[in-house]
Structure 1
Amino acid sequence: MTTALPAQRTVLERFPAGHPRGSWPADEYAAAQRTQGIDAHVVMDLASDQFLVVANATPQ
């Protein structure tokens, strides 16, 4: 049986969940990173109450 390792992620930026615009700043930042070729997306970190913009780490 083969098991896969969890993907390694790098946090590029953090945005407070209480921002008046919600996740929009994080979404805009992630979109800007994607235009530069970085596979970035937004996830919610419930423990810290923040939106995180993360990118999958490239395998070496």
Structure 2
Amino acid sequence: MVDGRTVLGRFPAGGPRGSWPAEEFAHARRLEGRPAEVVMDLATDTFLVIVRGVPRDRAESEAAATR
């Protein structure tokens, strides 16, 4: 967790046209009751799905389950 944010998933910015995998992943987490949001990491050119203020161990175990 960095600055109160935990990364649940990373998605390349160059996805196929019309494909929004980061948004779809975040939407699925929101349906589970998690306040997931998508942000852009300009340094790595990836979209990150994050939640704010979630304990690291819970978020890491959930992220591992989605791999």
TM-score if structure 1 supplies the norm length? 0.78
Q: CA RMSD in A?
A: 1.9
- Secondary structure of 2:25's counterpart equals helix
Q: Percent identity?
A: 62
Letter in 2 for 1:12: L
- Report 1:36-55 matches (<5 A): 36-55=32-51
Q: Is the helix fraction higher in 1 or 2?
A: 2
Q: Partners of 1:26 and 1:35 in 2: how far apart?
A: 14
Alignment correspondent of 1:9: 5
Q: TM-score, normalised by structure 2?
A: 0.70
Runs of at least 4 residues of structure 1 off by over 2 A? none
Are the aligned partners of 2:40 and 2:47 in contact in 1 as well (CA < 8 Å)?
Answer: yes
Q: Which has the larger radius of gyration?
A: 1
Aligned residues: 53
The structure richer in strand per residue is 1
In the alignment, structure 2 segments of 5+ residues that lack a partner are 56-67
